[in-house]
Structure 1
Amino acid sequence: MTQSLKNLVSSEEWQARVDLAAAYRLVALYGWDDLIFTHITVKIPNTEHFLINPYGMMFEEITASSLVKINLAGEKVMDSPYPINPAGFTIHSCIHGAREDAQCVMHTHSINGVAVSAQKNGVLPLSQQAYFVLSSLAYHDYEGVALLEDEKPRLLADLGAKNFLMLRNHGLLTVGKSVAEAFLAMYIFEAACMVQVRAQSGGHELVHIPDNILAMASQQMAQVTLGMGGALAWPALLRKLDRKNGGYAV
């Protein structure tokens, strides 16, 4: 068992660790994990350091103390027995480095997400979930496993100021000002893809949400979350996690 770091780090870092560990376990709980091969990162407040998963650990096992602290170059800045996923931080480092609001970056290889990422037209305006996603969605073409530094500027150019990124033939990515915000965005993104795959399987003509309705999405998203974004649902998600798979906050 990993030794607790609670008394060795700042209170801000510990809270970031607890939230990120919870996000990893929630991703596993909802079935979006891909064994050990995707990643979520969060910036530690008031520092230039980041937390990422210990490579080789299942998401359902991750704890606050097992997370690895690294710098923007992906180098460990605190002792850890675990390596990190090099492809994981290639994608995340460029987004964290370019966008001040990108406090948390979440990436998945969910079956529904990858299925829609392989469709030429991407996310279709078929559902209320897609309605919100389409208000801030970008696409990035597949260039192989994300290991090459020269892919970074193209990924950043494609993402721009958007909060949802569909990595074609690869998966989904969300950006948030907090772990809670990035998680809620991913929940909506994944749901939009699941609905689309199921709707397409029905074999009937699909009804698209009109463009004039789509234009209201950002404003209505703020209304339904009471202006709190992901923070509205996050405490309830943590209670759910505590019932299903507690023990992450150690």
Structure 2
Amino acid sequence: MGFAGSAGPGRAPLGMTLMGMNVTAGPGRDATTGRGALARLAVAFISGGLALGTAAPADAADLTVTVVDGAGHPVADAVVTATPDGPALPPAAPTAPLIMDQLDETFVPYVLVVPRGGTVTFRNSDLTRHHVYSYSEAAKFEFVLSPEQIGQRKFDQTGVVALGCNIHDHMIAHLYVTAAPFAAVTGKDGKARLGGLPAAAVTVAAWQPRLKPGATPPQQTVPAAALGAPLTLTLPPLLPDTRQGADPERGGY
């Protein structure tokens, strides 16, 4: 189903149908920063880290997982999921809005965990248009966002959704849509903290965008008695990081 894009304040309508997206004008720009309130919320949320989880039981436990490469170096932007044994729990609930911003010709964040059935808000905080797209099996869509515009899309199928921009080829990001009841993204120190796990054995797994095609992500079962102890997962060999700096021409259309 297509949705017609609407323009931001003082801007002409896009005049095109956008596939699979609901696109609307974003809030007005901040007089000091030139960016909308939603963009500031996204940056504040992302800088604080992301962890998704269900409501914690009284005897809940916390688990800190460190993700490293083959040389033992910490790996950032890895998704760590935990699935307890026993009755199935619902997908993790986000603790803040799910926002994929476009800022300085960069997707922010690089990796965003999305619980199955969750809705992501795409925000253009730049001064140029972006043509966001994905041809991934888990979700195929594309849409154009003018400055200040936002779009929303619901993700019902689990899997990795690779994002790109048809205008700025260097822009890359990933949505990790999961049904796991607990999930978090590692920081620069390679650590992800999962809180509120029930007192039961859990299966912990890690994924990172630079895993080679066909590589098996690391997975380990942690007994209930060991939940408080730190855990390290080692990734198989990774592909080079192909991300580049922003387009110096910063052109739009």
More strand by share: 2
TM-score computed with the length of structure 1 as normaliser: 0.25
With CA pairs under 8 Å and 6+ residues apart, which has the higher RCO, 1 or 2? 2
TM-score computed with the length of structure 2 as normaliser: 0.25
More helix by share: 1
Which entry has the higher C-alpha Rg, 1 or 2?
2
